[in-house]
Structure 1
Amino acid sequence: MKHELHLPAKPERHRRFGSVEAIKGTKPTDKENMSDLQNMPNDYFFNIDHVGVSNVSHPIQIESSAIPHTQTTIGSFSFTTNLDKSRKGINMSRLTEQLQRYHEKNWTVDLNTLKDFTKELADNMEQQSASVSVSFPWYFQRRSPETELPGLMHADIHMKVSYKENTGWAQTVGMTSHVTTLCPCSKEISEYSAHNQRGIISITAHIHDKAEMPDDFKTELLAAAETNASAKLHPVLKRPDEKRVTEQAYENPRFVEDIIRLTAADLYEMDWISAFDIECRNEESIHMHDAVARLSFSKS
């Protein structure tokens, strides 16, 4: 037997759960007559280096020298400007308004467009400096080493561009990627076999002011990380591929210390990089803890 409910109309249901009628206000509703607290001039004691918004998730287009050459991914943005002590605050809505304008123009996110974006941001906010940072997953095709079956991998990319009216732009790019590592100590002391782990390599590279950038910095940073590990990761492996990757790792044992030093050597040879920071973290397979190594180097 169906149980019948005798429900009141929806407005009455809402009132029963706490909703009240809107209060008839006296304050203006048109923007021109509203108070603008952020732009009230006064002495607010301190200049602010960075103020803005972060963790802005937005679809973006990127280009890649690896397949797929053009792709849509999700960017996590941060937008900030400086703020003079004579002004109480910034108009934060302008930050995401500008992002929407660029999105409507179908912009491709790269260092050149980020430079344009950052200068325009400073101008629109009537400030002397601005910074934009974005991080996103970058996908690339990889074939298995023996059967050459394709699949998609990804690495996490981050880019930051800062603009100052008097000095111009400063740029950094970076990547976090995963590799296979095989313990040299385990190989040395064991009668057979050696334990493996997954390594996570993070690189941040500072770019020379007038550098001639490579066609795709992403593939260069990826090569610096992967070619100095014990072996690469692969999305698709059949038995002949697994045999090859296992043997390759055994042929190239690496401590975390080895990986960051070898990666640093590759970054040192890249003319467009002025300084770099590297971290390698191994998720140990025979310990509860991770092994970690960090290195910073400036060519100047």
Structure 2
Amino acid sequence: MNKPSEPAVPQIADVQGSPDTRRLDIDRVGIKGIRHPVRILARSGTEQHTVANFNMYVHLPHNFKGTHMSRFIEILNGHEQEISLGTFRQMLREMCERLEARAGHIEMSFPFFVNKAAPVTGVTSLMDYQVSYIGEIAHGQAERLTAKLVIPVTSLCPCSKKISDYGAHNQRTHVTLTAHLGTPVWIEELIELVEAQASSELYGLLKRPDEKYVTEHAYDNPKFVEDLVRDIAGALNADERLAGYVVEAENFESIHNHSAYALIEKPVRAG
């Protein structure tokens, strides 16, 4: 008996791959705002399970009508293993290869948690930090890998301390560090570098002896917003793994209805 023949697979037109005659390159095209579960590799060797928000783009030459959007999702689904800065770089390269693009851009934003011990009692609690990895490939080979972190700290005003008979005003400060990496750096290292320059770092949980220590430590270490960005920049300049950086500090003033702000940038040198 003859076996029935299998049905023929219909040929489906590839509209995205069809030619375009307008002769206009598109600098970035892709998917934006897609959430995906990831496992972030921490310095201790453990993994943090979290959900990241992804933006993924490639360059589209003028002669193609569109890019293949489904391939971006396929790439994400293929990276279920833990993600470090090294594997993030691999994902960026794979995206450009799969989509045959000479330039690509990936942004990945996620909350990162550090288990911190209080300074006196040692009681532990989690602190969360907003982290982004940003990867770019240009001209098919030049790569740039960037880590962007928002690190909350305490700052205490030197002027207030100097002129007041009682205490000094302090506030929470958000330090935004955008570090252009020559070689991979652990997230925890960048957090610790910034926190070491503040009037005081923050903790999720403090007992009374800890609160006394933190308050007095900040009082003994007053800093203007200008002092803070200069001290952080000095520490960053000493780290040869960084190709460049932008450090920003915003003080959410406790006695004013505005913020104080400062920024220092060290551009990445060409070549």
Contact 2:112–2:131 (CA<8 Å) still a contact in 1?
Answer: yes
Contact 1:184–1:253 (CA<8 Å) still a contact in 2?
Answer: yes
Give the structure with the higher percent strand. 2
Task: Give the residue type in structure 2 aligned to 1:130.
Answer: G
Partner of 1:207: 181
Task: Give the residue type in structure 1 aligned to 2:218.
Answer: A
Task: Give the residue type in structure 2 aligned to 1:145.
Answer: P
The one of 111, 114, 117 equivalent to 1:140 is: 114
Q: TM-score, normalised by structure 2?
A: 0.91
Partner of 2:33: 55
Residues 198, 31 of structure 1: CA spacing in aligned structure 2 closer, same or farther, 3 A cutoff? farther
Partner of 1:77: 54
Task: Please report how far the alpha carbon of residue 299 of structure 1 lies from its aligned counterpart in structure 2 after TM superposition.
Answer: 6.5
1-side partners of 2:16 and 2:10: how far apart? 14
Q: TM-score, normalised by structure 1?
A: 0.83
2-side partners of 1:220 and 1:91: how far apart? 38
RMSD of aligned Cα (Å)? 1.8
Partner of 2:105: 131
Task: Give the residue type in structure 2 aligned to 1:92.
Answer: M
Contact 1:44–1:87 (CA<8 Å) still a contact in 2?
Answer: no
Whether 1:41 aligns to 2:15 is no
Residues 52, 166 of structure 1: CA spacing in aligned structure 2 closer, same or farther, 3 A cutoff? closer
Between structure 1 and structure 2, the one with the greater Rg is 1
Whether 1:187 aligns to 2:165 is no
Task: Please report how far the alpha carbon of residue 120 of structure 1 lies from its aligned counterpart in structure 2 after TM superposition.
Answer: 1.5
1:221 aligned counterpart, secondary structure: helix
Task: Please report how far the alpha carbon of residue 289 of structure 1 lies from its aligned counterpart in structure 2 after TM superposition.
Answer: 1.0
- Provide, for residues 131-156 of structure 1, a one-character-per-residue CA deviation record: whole Å limited to 9, x for no partner: 22211111011111111100111111
Unpaired segments ≥5 residues, structure 2: 1-7
1-side partners of 2:233 and 2:9: how far apart? 54
The one of 88, 96, 101 equivalent to 1:122 is: 96
Unpaired segments ≥5 residues, structure 1: 1-29
1-side partners of 2:206 and 2:9: how far apart? 61
Residues 129, 32 of structure 1: CA spacing in aligned structure 2 closer, same or farther, 3 A cutoff? farther
Count residues with an aligned counterpart. 262
Mapping for residues 84-123 of structure 1, pairs under 5 Å? 84-103=61-80, 107-123=81-97
Task: Please report how far the alpha carbon of residue 82 of structure 1 lies from its aligned counterpart in structure 2 after TM superposition.
Answer: 0.5
- Provide, for residues 80-119 of structure 1, a one-character-per-residue CA deviation record: whole Å limited to 9, x for no partner: 111000011101111112211222xxx1111221222122
1-side partners of 2:141 and 2:96: how far apart? 13
